[in-house]
Amino acid sequence: MGENDTERNLLRSLINASEKAANIARICRSNEQLLSLLVQEKSGTEANARFEHDFKTLADVLIQETIKHDVGNLFPELRESICGEESPNFTNTLGESVTISVGDTLTNTIQCLSTVLNGNEEAAEALANEVHRDISFEDERLGDIPALPNDLAYEELGIWIDPIDATAEYISGDSMFTNFPGITSTGLDCVTVLIGVYNRLTGIPIIGVISQPFQQKIIDNEYRSLVFWGVALPDLQVNNCKFDARIRNPLGIFSSSENPDVLQCFLNLGYEIAFSAGAGHKALKVITNEVEIYTLSKAGTFRWDTCAPQAILRSIGGDIYNYSESVKQQKPIALNYSPANDNEENWKCNKGGLIAIRDSNNIEQFIVALANV
């Protein structure tokens, strides 16, 4: 990786970026001014639907642009291939169009955020301080961060970011629990930051980082992150996701809107059923061996939702498959991130649904069973 091996470790950089993202997400919920702006409901002449919607995504956009800025500075050959869910363009209450960007200096970033927040300097400064803070995330649960191969062609890579997956859970914070220990239905536990790296020539995910910003509550409004990562390269398969399976009946995790016939298929296979929010969260439960499978039989997730967990699953021996194509062709067909055809609409969407599984040797039984749905 050259002279600056530590600085040029992409995995380490993504882990640090995920923790900075978690800090921004947490400060938006712990700072009284920011939280009041985040959750307030205006009415009558005070209402501005566009601004209200935009502020609720400000944390998402700021996290996305911060990751792009930090990783792009260390890896300039990747800068133009870092993509995310959110548009950086906002319209504030004065009707001014503002593009969220991370400035070269703290002052520049404060000025940009102050414009978006209609002159709220205190809130802008609180956010900008987190954006410009130096982060080196250390946690014994990370394990040993490996050096990446010297011949890794960074110019061939792309990155998909979901800055805050399960935004509705992030805003409301209301928790509901399932009947299964450790499986949350709604709430902050469902919120994840997803950063996935893929090879733009093959479309195959190769590095994934998933952070749970609200995984461990220390005291009121203070949380500790839990970060999962995986590398799935031909000559390097490594992760920090060695989890024993729980001794219980097999368990699948689904969206509450899943097709009842699909759910019945799994019940017929002897599976118990859990419902939970957040595509990243549900995929993470497969990674941590708390459930055997996560299935979505329709469109509803996007490349930024699946790239990171798919890379981690591939490093374990699993994968994420295209539900419709795999069932139709009766053979496993993994999700792929190859560049879109110019004529293809909605190309960022996983239109065929998905099947996320920790052990790819088991996929055949599911696509056979689901063919009868």
Q: Show the domains of the chain with their CATH numbers.
A: 10-131 (no CATH), 156-373 (3.40.190.80)
342 is catalytic: no
60 is catalytic: yes
In whole numbers, what is the pLDDT of the chain averaged over residues? 88
Q: How many CA atoms lie within 13 A of 60 on its CB side?
A: 27
- pLDDT score recorded for residue 363: 96
Task: State whether residue 85 is helix, strand or coil.
Answer: coil
Given the residues 54, 65, 189, 305, the one annotated as active site: 305
6 is catalytic: no
The span from the CA of 6 to the CA of 1, in Å, is 9
Given the residues 19, 70, 162, 258, the one annotated as active site: 162
Largest CA distance in the chain: 61
**Is the distance from CB of 154 to CB of 78 less than 8 angstroms?**
yes
164 is catalytic: yes
Q: What is the pTM of this model?
A: 0.91
Token reading at 25 = 């997400």
What residue type is assigned to position 177 of the chain?
A: F
Tens digit of pLDDT for each residue in 94-117? 667 778 889 999 999 999 988 878
List CB contacts of 80: < 8 A, sequence separation 6 or more.
Answer: none
Q: Which of 54, 69, 89 is nearest to 131 (CA)?
A: 69
Phi, psi (degrees; rounded to nearest 5) at 67 = -60, -45
Pairing of strands 157-165, 82-84: parallel
Given the residues 159, 164, 316, 333, the one annotated as active site: 164
**Is the distance from CB of 110 to CB of 188 less than 8 angstroms?**
no
Tens digit of pLDDT for each residue in 115-146? 878 788 888 898 999 999 999 999 999 999 99
Token reading at 342 = 């110019």
The span from the CA of 123 to the CA of 31, in Å, is 8
